[in-house]
A = this chain, B = another copy of it.
Amino acid sequence: MTSKSIKIAIAGLGTVGAGVIKILEGSKQVLGHRGGSVAEVVAVSARDRSRDRGVDLSAYEWCDNPVDLAGLDTVDLVVELIGGSDGPALALARETLKRGKAFVTANKALIAMHGRELAELAEANDAHLRFEAAVAGGIPIVKALREGLAANTISGVYGILNGTCNYILTRMEREGLGFDEVLQDAQRIGYAEADPTFDIDGIDTAHKTAILAAIAFGQAPTLDGMPIEGIRNIAPVDIDQARDLGYRIKLLGVANRTENGIETRVHPAMVPVSEPLAQVHEATNAVVVQGDYVGQTVYVGAGAGEGPTASAVVADIVDVLRGSGGPVFGVPVAELQTPVTEEVSGNPGTYYIRLSVKDEPGVMATITSILGKEQVSINSLIQRGCAVNEGVYIVMTTHETSESAVKAALSHLTEADCVLETPTMLRIQVAGTQ
């Protein structure tokens, strides 16, 4: 054992905070070996002092206000597990970094919204800023991108970043259930929040995508200009069609280097069953990275939960113990690129379209004519079963086209008399394409 010791304060004592304390206390010696110095919890803060968390807090200093942790002379490193992009989490981050102390967080919203400012503070005050737990839980993907693949120019990174959505999609596929039914069940068993908006509407995935893009491409994290679409509109018929066509539907966060700069987006997509991401089920997360030298690498693991998140937080702490440095987002803040806030590439690729139409003569001619006018060329077309109001579903996949062309066609289709519902569009995501 070495004699050097780093003193830690933890703000937020939910299951993850308690997990971090358990690991730090339970593995003191081995962590000391791995980090070359000892991590010692000295202070904590949480809303409710009296709650039983399964860990003994009596030896730690207690602060009612988490921001006070940063000011304690005894504290070298603050772990923030409060959550929220602003409020006490942001105040604590600023105060900690201003004092030149290390800041470790699992807070994706905080880093996605204020990453640039905090990285600037970290740099100006020579302080560590770490957030492995903010993306994909226990999978060390931030480290892999920042360090493991440091030799590479990354052309793209995308993945399944939200366990709740993947759990819902998996159950819809396996059990043939509708979205609402599975969501309610997921809420009942604790796999979805009472207010599931952040998860199912893609905001959580967007935060994580912004962070991955920042590290992969050396740009400030931002949600500005990121098209974000969740999984609310996925119907059982889409899941069935995906299966018939050899795909699975997954909610993806995508960040690509394009001729016009870095483009990011969040949307459900059809993933070929032979691709690694199609094999990722339930609440598991997975990230695919394409680098110029390394080629494609894939990282799979639990995306959330006490153990995986605490594992990532403690890995960050051990990195601080080891004195592992380097710029927060891979390049100094002054060199961070300005993100592209307007999508201009038109998002080339192939698409899945589902229409609910009247079952009457001439409909197919109307549809194909509208698609043709927008230069959207049909690869496969299936008419099936009954849809609403005695209509039928028409399900198509396109040849290579652009998202803008498909959207223009869908806008005309929506106006056509024969189309009964707002059309559904899903991108077909193939590895190696953008």
Taking beta carbons and an 8 Å cutoff, which residues of A are in contact with B?
A: 19, 23, 27, 30-31, 33-36, 132, 137-140, 143-144, 146-153, 218, 274, 276, 279, 291-302, 305, 307-308, 310-315, 318-319, 322-327, 330-332, 335
Chain B hits for A31, CB < 8 A: 150-151
**A301/B297 contact (C-beta < 8 A), A23-B151, A143-B147 known:** yes
A279: which B residues are within 8 A, CB to CB? 274, 276, 279
The residues of B that contact A19 with a CB separation of less than 8 Å are 293
How far apart are the CA atoms of A36 and B31 in the complex, in Å? Answer: 26
Once A150-B35, A326-B322 are accepted as A-B contacts, the answer to whether A138 and B297 lie under 8 Å apart by CB is: yes
Given A19-B293, A294-B307, A301-B296, verify A315-B140 contact (CB < 8 Å).
Answer: no
Find the B residue at minimum CB distance from A132: B148
Given contacts A33-B331, A34-B326, A143-B143, contact A151 B296 (CB under 8 A): no
- Pick the residue among B139, B147, B292, B315 that contacts A150 (CB under 8 A): B315
A-B CB contact pairs (8 Å), 7 listed: A140-B147, A140-B148, A149-B311, A151-B312, A276-B276, A294-B302, A294-B312
> Smallest Cβ distance from A309 to chain B, in angstroms?
9
Assuming the A-B contacts A295-B308, A307-B294, are A318 and B139 also in contact, with contact meaning beta carbons closer than 8 angstroms in the complex? no
Q: Check B327–A324 contact: CB distance below 8 A.
A: no
- Across-interface contacts of A139 in B (CB, < 8 A): 294, 297
Count this chain's copies in the assembly: 2
Closest to A138 in B: B294
Considering the chains assembled together, what is the distance between the CA atoms of A243 and B15 in angstroms? 43
Report the Cα distance A291→B310, complex, angstroms.
Answer: 12
Query: Across the interface, do B325 and A36 meet the contact criterion of CB distance under 8 Å?
Result: yes
For the residues of A in contact with B, the DSSP-based class is mixed
Inter-subunit contact B310/A293 (CB<8 Å)? yes
The residue from B27, B300, B330 contacting A153, defined by CB atoms under 8 A apart: B27
**Cα separation A315 to B152 with both chains bound (whole Å):** 9
In the complex with contacts A19-B293, A294-B138, A294-B311, A326-B151 CB distance below 8 A? no
Minimum CB–CB distance from A329 to chain B (whole Å) comes to 10
Q: How many angstroms from the CA of A27 to the CA of B313 in the assembled complex?
A: 31
Contact B33–A311 (Cβ < 8 Å): no
> Which B residues lie within 8 Å of A312 (CB)?
151, 294
Smallest CB gap from A314: residue in B: B151
For residue A323, which residues in chain B have a CB less than 8 angstroms away from its CB?
323-325
A135 to chain B, nearest CB (A): 12
Bound complex: CA of A299 vs CA of B323, how far in Å? 26
Minimal beta-carbon separation of A79 from chain B (angstroms): 12
Give complex CA distance A2, B326 in Å. Answer: 12
A151, A296, A330 — most chain B CB neighbours (10 Å): A151
Across the interface, name the chain B residue whose C-beta is closest to A285: B297
Contact present for B295 and A298 (CB under 8 Å):
no
Q: Is there contact, CB below 8 Å, between A138 and B335?
A: no
A295 and B300 contact, CB distance less than 8 A: no
Measured CA separation A295–B311 after assembly (Å): 10
Cβ–Cβ contact B299 & A299, under 8 A? yes
What's the minimum C-beta distance from A331 to chain B, rounded to whole angstroms? 4
